[in-house]
């Protein structure tokens, strides 16, 4: 879907609107909708333009448009209509990526945004017979000792789940009080609970990143501002770039899909009274020693750290995760959960994977992963750019003609994660999971052949 935002002077005609839109629409664009200021959407010219093409037309209040961060704000426009941007803000309000910035065409200003499929995840890339480099989950499934734990929990599932032992184990692992631990059906549930429990005036999601937090916020009706990190800066966060009036900030560390690890000190700088800072640490245990984790910090106001067992322990299907934060925030989130939100097998996994021996095993796996990641990077052929400085169980690559490359790899038996469903990335971006060196070298050979065939 393409959203064309437009601003115009009063009395603009349908012909003027359509001429401006046609000047910027990408070739072959389908599924077009128009968006503008509510006062302009009510004018005959705007309505007639939408009717002529069969396009939807949405008008937004100036106050709503003013919440959207745009590349080219205008103080003059703000003084006239109450928002520093109409065209770009209207195009971006639905959550798309800007593909054509503010463009003046006569008495009409237009901008174009492409919708991003926030619901797309790596599992959609998989199919029987493909080598899985699309999902960042430990290959081979859970270790045998954890399988035995799960089997016993299934045998005991006639009783209702008792979360107390798992909560105590997680709390002990991170040096927290049990009332600072929220157990959840995966990290994704925590983001839905946040969207239900909080009423942010300005939610900022740092991108490119895992898309479920933004999706949950938008579905709950909360406006979202995207803070887009830049490739030329290594996709690293400058804490000063977060708007002062943000009362909810969401960031991943390490970040999916860039695999960049932000310094804990930079993330700590984001916290302040009156603001909730959510740090998604779903991949934190893939980094040896977890040096930049904030999981044990109890001194930072509004901090909520989200963790998952999915990646290191290969438990994606079990749906198990947790959050760590101040007791009042945890209580507010828990109030949005139904009774018994986490199953007995998931609780058993939480307790087992929080034990000292399991955490030591996870640390050893993280150290081995670092070597495997280096082997993958060393094997990559010429013509492939590694984005950022990868620190986790996946790397973000940029290749020429990415859509063709991804399709050709699939034809050769390799599944990789498309990048263009992450806000701010393009079809030339591919996220690739780190596997054992033999698998990585075989993938690199296939990638080299695909690139050579396209020259």
Please tell me the class of the 144-357 domain: alpha beta
Residue 30 has pLDDT above 90, yes or no: no
Indicate the pLDDT class of residue 85, thresholds 50, 70 and 90: very high
Specify which residues 401 forms β-bridges with.
none
Q: Among 19-23, 90-94, 123-127, 428-432, where is mean pLDDT lowest?
A: 90-94
Residue 83 has pLDDT above 80, yes or no: yes
pLDDT above 70: percentage of residues in the chain: 100
pLDDT above 90: percentage of residues in the chain: 90
How does strand 108-114 pair with strand 2-8?
Answer: antiparallel
**Domain map (residue ranges) of the chain:** 2-115, 122-139+360-453, 144-357
Question: What residue has token string 């990585």?
Answer: 440
What confidence score (pLDDT) does residue 455 get? Answer: 77
SS3 149: helix
Q: How far apart are CA 313 and CA 356, in angstroms?
A: 15
| Listed residue (142, 176, 144, 179) closest to 163, CA to CA | 179
Q: How far is CA 32 from the centre of its chain?
A: 25
Q: Does domain 122-139+360-453 have CATH number 1.10.10.10?
A: no
Classify each residue of 330-347 as buried b or exposed e, where b means 16 or more C-beta atoms within 10 Å of its C-beta: bebbbeebeeebbbbbbb
Q: How far apart are CA 320 and CA 213, in angstroms?
A: 17
Residue 1 has pLDDT above 90, yes or no: no
- H or E segment to which residue 99 belongs: strand 97-105
Residue 29 has pLDDT above 80, yes or no: no
Q: Which residue has the higher pLDDT, 68 or 389?
A: 389
What confidence score (pLDDT) does residue 67 get? Answer: 81
What confidence score (pLDDT) does residue 78 get? Answer: 93
Q: How far is CA 178 from CA 258, 319, 377, in A?
A: 33, 21, 41
Indicate the pLDDT class of residue 359, thresholds 50, 70 and 90: very high
Residue 299 has pLDDT above 80, yes or no: yes
Query: Taking residues 323-345, what's their average pLDDT?
Result: 97
- Per-residue pLDDT of 100-114, as tens digits, reads 999 999 999 999 998
Q: Which residue has the higher pLDDT, 374 or 228?
A: 374
Question: What residue has token string 């926030």?
Answer: 118
Indicate the pLDDT class of residue 27, thresholds 50, 70 and 90: confident
How does strand 203-207 pair with strand 248-252?
Answer: parallel
What confidence score (pLDDT) does residue 383 get? Answer: 93
Scanning 293-401, the segments in alpha helix (DSSP H) are 310-313, 327-334, 344-353, 356-379
- Per-residue pLDDT of 217-262, as tens digits, reads 999 999 888 999 999 999 999 999 999 999 999 999 999 999 999 9
2-115 topology per CATH: Nucleotidyltransferase; domain 5 (3.30.420)
- Per-residue pLDDT of 264-273, as tens digits, reads 999 999 999 9
Question: What residue has token string 């070739």?
Answer: 27
| Listed residue (33, 61, 62) closest to 49, CA to CA | 33
- H or E segment to which residue 305 belongs: strand 303-308
Q: How far apart are CA 451 and CA 447, in angstroms?
A: 6
What confidence score (pLDDT) does residue 196 get? Answer: 97
What confidence score (pLDDT) does residue 123 get? Answer: 94
Q: How far apart are CA 272 and CA 114, in angstroms?
A: 34
What confidence score (pLDDT) does residue 97 get? Answer: 86
SS3 429: strand
Query: Taking residues 133-145, what's their average pLDDT?
Result: 94
Question: What residue has token string 């986790």?
Answer: 392
For the full predicted model, state whether its pTM sits above 0.85: yes
Mean pLDDT of all residues belonging to the chain: 95
Indicate the pLDDT class of residue 376, thresholds 50, 70 and 90: very high
What confidence score (pLDDT) does residue 28 get? Answer: 76
Q: If you count them, how many residues does the chain have?
A: 455
Question: What residue has token string 């012909």?
Answer: 15
Query: How many other CB atoms sit within 10 Å of the CB of residue 438?
Result: 10
Q: Among 6-20, 84-98, 267-281, where is mean pLDDT lowest?
A: 84-98
């Amino acid at each position: 879907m393409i959203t064309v935002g437009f601003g115009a002077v009063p009395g603009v005609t349908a012909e003027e609107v359509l001429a401006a839109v046609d000047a910027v629409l990408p070739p072959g664009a389908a599924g077009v909708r128009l968006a503008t200021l509510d006062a302009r959407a009510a004018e005959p010219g705007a309505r007639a333009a939408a009717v002529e093409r069969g396009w939807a037309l949405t008008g937004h209040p100036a106050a709503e448009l003013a919440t959207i961060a745009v590349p080219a704000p205008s103080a003059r426009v703000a003084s006239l209509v109450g928002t520093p941007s109409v065209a770009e803000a209207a195009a971006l309000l639905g959550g798309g990526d800007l593909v054509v910035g503010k463009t003046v065409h006569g008495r009409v200003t237009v901008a174009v945004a492409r919708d991003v499929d926030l619901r797309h995840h790596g599992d959609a890339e998989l199919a029987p017979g493909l080598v899985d480099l699309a999902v960042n989950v430990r290959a081979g499934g859970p270790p045998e000792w954890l399988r035995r734990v799960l089997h016993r929990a299934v045998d005991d599932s006639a009783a209702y789940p008792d979360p107390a032992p798992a909560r105590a184990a997680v709390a002990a692992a991170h040096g927290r009080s049990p009332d600072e631990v929220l157990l959840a059906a995966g990290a994704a549930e925590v983001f839905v609970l946040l969207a239900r429990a909080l009423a942010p005036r300005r939610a900022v999601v740092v991108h490119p990143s895992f898309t479920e937090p933004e999706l949950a916020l938008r579905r709950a009706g909360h406006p979202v501002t995207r803070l887009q990190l830049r490739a030329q800066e290594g996709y690293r966060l400058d804490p000063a770039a977060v708007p002062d009036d943000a009362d909810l900030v969401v960031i991943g560390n390490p970040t999916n899909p860039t695999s960049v690890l932000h310094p804990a000190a930079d993330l700590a700088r984001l916290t302040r009274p009156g603001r909730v800072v959510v740090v998604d640490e779903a991949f934190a245990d893939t980094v040896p020693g977890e040096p930049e984790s904030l999981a044990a910090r109890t001194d930072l106001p509004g901090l909520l750290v989200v963790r998952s067992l999915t990646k290191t322990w290969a438990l994606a299907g079990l749906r198990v995760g947790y959050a760590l934060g101040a007791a009042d925030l945890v209580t507010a989130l828990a109030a949005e959960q139904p009774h018994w939100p986490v199953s007995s097998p998931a609780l058993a996994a939480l307790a087992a994977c929080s034990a000292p021996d399991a955490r030591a095993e996870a640390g050893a796996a993280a150290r081995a992963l670092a070597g495997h990641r280096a082997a993958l990077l060393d094997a990559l052929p010429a013509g492939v750019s590694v984005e950022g400085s990868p620190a986790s169980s996946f790397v973000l690559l940029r290749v020429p003609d990415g859509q063709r490359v991804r399709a050709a790899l699939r034809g050769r038996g390799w599944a990789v994660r498309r990048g263009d469903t992450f806000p701010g990335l393009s079809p030339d971006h591919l996220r690739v999971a780190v596997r054992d060196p033999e698998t990585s070298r075989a993938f690199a050979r296939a990638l080299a052949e695909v690139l050579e065939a396209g020259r």
